[in-house]
Amino acid sequence: MKSLEIQQERKFCQLGFEYLKGGAPRYRIALQKLHMQSKTERPYYSSDMGPFYQWLRECYDAPSLKPMVDLTCAHIFETYPTSIEKEVFGQLPSKQNWFTMRDASKLTGFGVVFLKKLLGHMNGVGESDALKRTDVHVDELDSAKSYWSSLMTLKEASQSFGLPVRQIKALQDRGVLDTIKVTSSLRYAKQEQVATLLRKVTSLPVAREGQALVPLKAFCRDKGVGIPRLIELWANVELEGALFRGEVGTGFQAMEVAWDAMCAIDRVQFNRDLQLSEVARYLQISVISVRQLRNHGYLSQLKKRNVDTNRIKSYISKESILAFEETYVTLGQMSAKQKIAPIHLARKLDDNDIPPISCGGEYVRVYEKSAVGWEA
């Protein structure tokens, strides 16, 4: 202040008086305005307050200035990162409210960049703006640690559900689980959502002897239905009364499914050539079996180009499916009509010496209608 010219000194004094005559509220507004006008990369109180700070530092111990010093210190401690061991105008903060990102990183164990992106994700801020942050409030740190501890990796979710990671991603894509991305394409799941689904599995009615039930994996394989698709229907209460809890299996693998569970829900509209997965659902066999039937001439494949994406997809012709149905019936179709679990029906057919058709030396659970006395 001693280096200021008399005109500048009077100008600053007049400006300060305009704020001070409004009392403590107006003085606080002035301090907040200085903070908001900060042009430094990381706001710091000495640079934000400029000459006023220099003046107050020279005379803060004057008794007449104590109310002003108290208000200034309260503002600094509430607004800027200040160490509880460093005095400001002769005062120490009772607690540290703000931390630099480097100090926050040491406290949380998060990397500086990761912490910025995590806070940005939590607050709905874009990555470029999130990376500009220089300070973090203590309450935000607690929230960040709590939020991070509420997430789990897809590998952990995979172990809980008894499903491969790719199927956990499919559940997220279908909206069964929320997709959480913090720093990159790496996905996370919410622990509470995973726990809720697991509780729903354990609350399923226990499977009873004599019911036509099939373990989840076998059901989806034989029906040509993706496990994520079935779980989505169950989560949306579209398979009420069709799923039960078995005695073995982890997570979803403990589920057993009524054999005719998806007959009405996933019925394929057979008015065109079908993709392999659609043929599997329509004929109630696995996709692998469809490929074997195709490879050995029972079904005919077509290649079609998508004009929008230029990708080529494989289809089974409608005519070959109709011709196939004239002569053959699948184990799944017979099971659905007779309401018998396919494994029990397969044993019955084997006991009666009724063989399935052979595809290159491997049996596919497809039978000639004349051999099983099938009438549609």
Q: Which residue has the higher pLDDT, 211 or 265?
A: 211
Asked whether residue 339 carries a pLDDT value surpassing 60, the answer given is yes
Asked if 52 and 84 sit in the same domain, the reply is: yes
Q: Any alpha helices (H) in the chain, and if so which ranges? A: 6-20, 23-36, 45-49, 51-59, 66-79, 101-108, 112-123, 127-130, 138-149, 154-161, 165-173, 191-202, 216-223, 227-235, 276-283, 287-295, 318-327, 331-338, 342-351, 369-372
Write phi, then psi, for 95 (nearest 5 degrees). -155, 160
pLDDT for 248: 82
Q: Which residue has the higher pLDDT, 292 or 310?
A: 292
| Residue 73 near residue 88 (C-beta atoms within 8 A) | yes
Residue 21 inside a domain? The answer is yes
Write phi, then psi, for 364 (nearest 5 degrees). -115, 135
Asked if 82 and 12 sit in the same domain, the reply is: yes
Asked if 140 and 164 sit in the same domain, the reply is: no
Asked if 83 and 120 sit in the same domain, the reply is: no
pLDDT for 22: 58
Asked if 14 and 70 sit in the same domain, the reply is: yes
Asked if 40 and 84 sit in the same domain, the reply is: yes
Q: Print burial letters for 264-291: b (CB count within 10 Å at least 16), e (below 16).
A: eebebeeeebbbbebbbbbbbbbbebbb
C-alpha distances (whole Å) from 180 to each of 151, 175, 236, 286 are 8, 12, 21, 33
Residue 81 inside a domain? The answer is yes
| Residue 318 near residue 272 (C-beta atoms within 8 A) | yes
Contacts of 267 (CB under 8 A, 6+ apart): 281
Residue 266 amino acid letter: D
Asked if 48 and 106 sit in the same domain, the reply is: no
Q: Domains in the chain: how many in total?
A: 3
Cα atoms in the 13 Å half-sphere on the side-chain side of 117: 12
Asked if 144 and 182 sit in the same domain, the reply is: no
Residue 293 inside a domain? The answer is no
Measure the CA–CA gap between 321 and 30, rounded to whole angstroms: 81
First vs last C-alpha separation in the chain: 102
Burial bucket for residue 125 (CB in 10 Å: 0-12, 13-18, 19+): middle
| Residue 287 near residue 280 (C-beta atoms within 8 A) | yes
Residue 139 inside a domain? The answer is yes
Asked whether residue 214 carries a pLDDT value surpassing 70, the answer given is yes
Give the pairing type, strands 328-330 and 312-316.
unpaired
For 301-336, how does the pLDDT look when each residue is reduced to its tens digit (9 = 90+)?
998 876 556 778 889 998 999 999 899 999 988 888
Residue 366 inside a domain? The answer is no
Q: Which of these three, 55, 77, 95, is where a domain ends? A: 95
Residue 231 inside a domain? The answer is no
Residue 327 structure tokens: 């002569």
pLDDT for 330: 92
pLDDT for 193: 94
Asked if 139 and 181 sit in the same domain, the reply is: no
Asked if 157 and 145 sit in the same domain, the reply is: no
Asked if 56 and 128 sit in the same domain, the reply is: no
Measure the CA–CA gap between 48 and 32, rounded to whole angstroms: 10
Q: 120: domain range?
A: 100-149
| Residue 192 near residue 155 (C-beta atoms within 8 A) | no
Measure the CA–CA gap between 255 and 241, rounded to whole angstroms: 12
Over residues 252-268, mean pLDDT: 73
Per the prediction, the chain carries an average pLDDT of: 82
* pTM, entire model: 0.57
Q: Which residue has the higher pLDDT, 247 or 50?
A: 247
Residue 31 inside a domain? The answer is yes
Residue 247 inside a domain? The answer is no
Q: What is the largest CA-CA distance in the chain?
A: 114
Q: Which of these three, 95, 110, 131, is where a domain ends? A: 95
For 348-370, how does the pLDDT look when each residue is reduced to its tens digit (9 = 90+)?
999 999 999 988 888 889 999 98
Asked whether residue 192 carries a pLDDT value surpassing 90, the answer given is yes
Asked if 84 and 123 sit in the same domain, the reply is: no
296 band by pLDDT with thresholds 50, 70 and 90: very high
